[in-house]
Structure 1
Amino acid sequence: MRSSFFVRGNDGNVFRLFAIFMWGMLAALSVFTNRIPPFQLLFICFTIASSLVYVKRAIKREPLIKKPAMDRTQWLVGVTGLFGFHIFYFLALRFAPPIEATLIIYLWPLLLGVLLATKGNKRFAVLGGIIGFCGTVVMIADGLDTNQGESALAVVGYLCALGCALIWTNYSWFLSKTKSDVEDISWVALAVAFIALVCHLLFENGVWDLTNTEVAMLILIGIGPTGGAFYLWDIGMKQGNQSWLASISFGTPVIASVSLYLFGFSELTISIIVATLLIVVGAVVSNALSKTR
């Protein structure tokens, strides 16, 4: 297995932080593409993501096509993890308020921290998870208004967001326990793009009169949050400090909330600020305190 995709050695820790930043920006970028059906969106973004490896190989004058070295379990977890996460992600942002949905989605660092915790640190991880969950409850309770007709759709969005958190937790945990060439992600991304294309042709009407802004956002999502970020995360979970990566991942909902606010898609209400603080405190308890102990 090659040591990395973009980076090698200890310097990779710095570059892996870009994965967290990219995911923090995904919510805001995705709102710009709300007009595009979710399967079509997934097809375009993962086609771009898959092409990154071929661009890299062309620049380095390496063979463009290399046979994947994944077993059946790695194929299954990789494809279902990336496909399932993103379908639920895009649906969550369409049915639920963006910031609330994003904060639920990024409960996965808490869940991952519990899975990665050693036996002696498990109680800190569980306590941190409870604190973070309380933050989510505060946020959802304020976001739901039973007098509005949209509440039922919001619940669907919240459930999709929770599905995202569970899928990505298990996907990341699996990466930490397995070995494969990071460049094989390009094959997984290509498989996800193909499945998305089939679903798009079967269930959706395409939107191809894209604006310049939509095209730019699709390229950014394909290169960043659904592209380079996955390669960097794969490196981190297999070669880096997994618990540390889980800890810094709690910066993602903060980045997402601030970016949504700056782009004018959501307001930073008191409940969202309190929820964000509780989730971050949960991260500290779950990871930092247990490591100190």
Structure 2
Amino acid sequence: MSYEDRPAFRIIGLSGVVIFLWGVTAWLRMLAGSVPPLELTGIALIGAALSSCLLTGPRGATWSAIRRHPWYAWLTVGAGLVGGAAFYFAALTYAPAAQVVVITYSWPLLFAIASDVYSHRRPAPLTFVSLFVGLAGVGVMHGTTAAPSADAWLGYVYALASGLCWVAYSLFVQVYSRPIASAYPAFFAVGAVAALLLQAATGGLVWPGSTGAWTASIILGIGPYGLGFLAWGYVVRHGNPRIVPVLPYAVPAVAAITLVLVGRVQPTLTLWAGCALVIMACVASMRTRRHAGRV
């Protein structure tokens, strides 16, 4: 069934859920405190595995799905989940959250290009314009700061690495010929084990030191890395391939609003101006790519 045959409201609704859940991730990472990035990834993926078990059908269907996937699917999906989350959490440890969100969620530009090239489509020039407007918007949103420190630069590198992991993961899910929804609990569980073993081998396990940190870590798993990835997997497989790549551009705006509401960022005129630019870029890019898909 093509994306035109899918109920539009379902795609739109799930896209909204994904954008919201990913938008609050930076705040939840702050609440998790000093938990190391790999360990936080492991805890989050355990929560994702447990929550996705309730949404992907009976256990027999999960085990049947596991046997259908080749080794490269396990490697790509597992590396995408662990790398994308761990690099993002590490970036938030070393660099300011606002800039990290901006850099990480510039990955839709690369995803849009990769998706079009893989499908033998020529990227529309206006798509690049709208995407760069979105990137300019997130830059305006957070204004200018002093020269970054060495730790901040390291955080920016981690943020870029996280974005590249999401590009690889999303493109693979979009083009992979076998459905993976029923196997998500196993993908999450394997990723959790890998992340915790890596943390134990490299720095030792440092469990959350408070109830609040535990709660934030678990919510990260159930929400952004459980429900969020199940919803995103459906959207990238069944949504309009010319619109889906630009949807995550709304995440920095949601993240900025969240950080303002919880008192982590001060509301400024540049912040709201940047949010407006991001929203305008998303709308313009969706309209452009929808029109190109009909040509």
TM superposition score normalised by structure 1: 0.83
Structure 1 residue 53, shift from structure 2 partner: 3.7
Give the structure 1 partner of residue 130 of structure 2. Answer: 128
Is residue 260 from structure 1 mapped to residue 259 from structure 2 by the alignment? yes
Superposed, 1:97-136 pairs within 5 Å as 97-117=96-116, 119=121, 121-135=123-137
Is residue 88 from structure 1 mapped to residue 87 from structure 2 by the alignment? yes
Structure 2 Cα separation of the partners of residues 16 and 285 of structure 1: 17
Structure 2 Cα separation of the partners of residues 260 and 35 of structure 1: 19
Give the structure 1 partner of residue 150 of structure 2. Answer: 152
Structure 2 Cα separation of the partners of residues 131 and 56 of structure 1: 37
Give the structure 2 partner of residue 43 of structure 1. Answer: 42
Structure 1 residue 104, shift from structure 2 partner: 1.7
- Paired residue secondary structure (2:252): helix
Is the contact made by 1:110 and 1:283 (CA closer than 8 Å) also made in structure 2? no
Give the structure 1 partner of residue 63 of structure 2. Answer: 66
Structure 2 Cα separation of the partners of residues 244 and 63 of structure 1: 35
Residue 61 and residue 230 in structure 1: after superposition, are their counterparts in 2 closer, same or farther (change >3 A)?
A: closer
- Aligned residue among 166, 171, 174 for 1:173: 171
Residue 138 and residue 46 in structure 1: after superposition, are their counterparts in 2 closer, same or farther (change >3 A)?
A: same
Residue 209 and residue 215 in structure 1: after superposition, are their counterparts in 2 closer, same or farther (change >3 A)?
A: closer
Q: How many residues align?
A: 279
Structure 1 residue runs of 5 or longer lacking an equivalent are 1-8
Structure 1 residue 31, shift from structure 2 partner: 0.7
Residue 123 and residue 61 in structure 1: after superposition, are their counterparts in 2 closer, same or farther (change >3 A)?
A: closer
Is the contact made by 2:138 and 2:252 (CA closer than 8 Å) also made in structure 1? no
Provide the alpha-carbon RMSD of the alignment: 2.6
Is the contact made by 1:236 and 1:242 (CA closer than 8 Å) also made in structure 2? no
Once the two structures are aligned, what percentage of the paired residues are identical?
25
| Letter paired with 1:142 | T
Structure 2 residue runs of 5 or longer lacking an equivalent are 1-5
Structure 1 residue 270, shift from structure 2 partner: 4.5
Structure 1 residue 290, shift from structure 2 partner: 3.5
Residue 108 and residue 209 in structure 1: after superposition, are their counterparts in 2 closer, same or farther (change >3 A)?
A: closer
Give the structure 2 partner of residue 19 of structure 1. Answer: 18
Q: Deviations over 1:216-261 (max 9, x none)?
A: 2122111110111111111111122233333433222111111111
Q: Say which is worse superposed, 235-244 or 152-161, in terms of deviation.
A: 235-244
